[in-house]
Amino acid sequence: MSIGKQLSRYPALKAYVESLCSIPAGTFQMGCASGYIIEKPVHSVMLSAFRMAATPVTVAVWKEYCKATSTPLPKEPSWGFIDDHPVIYVSWNDIMGIDGKGGFCAWATELAGIKLMLPTEAQFEYAARGGQSWLEYPWGNGFDDSKLWCSKPTDRKSTAPVIRPSNIFRNGYGLTDMVGNVWDWCFDLYAPYTSASETDPIGPNSSSDTRRCVRGGSWYYDDPEFFRCANRGWLGPDSRDDDFGFRLSAGPG
């Protein structure tokens, strides 16, 4: 059976892979001089071209994975499993495998015929800026609650559909929910920044610190600081919560 025919058996995954948007190579200043200490120092990063999915991975896609691999569904959120919402309660280990070579990404890679991964922190921040590397938020330099799904000024009670008529912004690369809705797991092990210039950084190769980076803020938060492109956080690789999801990246194709 060819790869294409295999993928056609999983319509939600097929549509998701087809949503990958092209991100051109470029250089940008990563971090924020006026932000939190973990965003400093600002440093130059050069990235090769890559692709990133337009939205977070949905419940529908994760259900296909669970059914195909006999993997139990994650914990059901208080609002239930809704197919067009981002999948939540999934850990870095669930997505990448404990050794970084298994989990959801290995399954999706085999079907798609292209290597599908979590984006690196650098890829995520660069893509969030949508080709305008000086922007504080994906849409500009001022917070705008109409551009994302968060709890400012309205107290949200759940995630939102990844395609919706309001409180959403599509940036210059065609990406949505780069901030808000759910935090996104990134590939990298957490490490403080240095001032050195970098090319296609992937974080430390190994570390006694097993925390993995997360980006983007979520529906739960009401502080605009969490939704800046440079904002970063971390969690242990087996952590799960109702506002943590992920999206996929791939080579330039």
Looking at the domain assignment, is residue 252 inside a domain? no
Assess contact for 31 and 194: CB atoms under 8 A.
no
Per-residue pLDDT of the chain (253 residues; tens, 9 = 90+): 345 668 999 999 999 999 999 999 999 999 999 999 999 999 999 999 999 999 999 999 999 999 999 999 999 999 999 999 999 999 999 999 998 899 999 999 999 999 999 999 999 999 999 999 889 999 999 999 999 999 999 999 999 999 999 999 999 999 999 999 999 999 999 999 999 999 999 999 888 899 999 999 999 999 999 999 999 999 999 999 999 999 999 999 7
Looking up tokens 């997360």 gives 214
Looking at the domain assignment, is residue 165 inside a domain? yes
Q: How far apart are CA 21 and CA 9, in angstroms?
A: 22
CATH number for the domain spanning 177: value is: 3.90.1580.10
Looking at the domain assignment, is residue 253 inside a domain? no
State CA 147 to chain mean position distance: 17
Sorted by sequence, the CB contacts under 8 Å of residue 20 that are 6+ apart come out as: 51, 52, 53, 54, 248, 249, 250, 253
Q: How far apart are CA 164 and CA 166, in angstroms?
A: 6
The domain of 139 spans: 3-247
Looking at the domain assignment, is residue 214 inside a domain? yes
Number of domains in the chain: 1
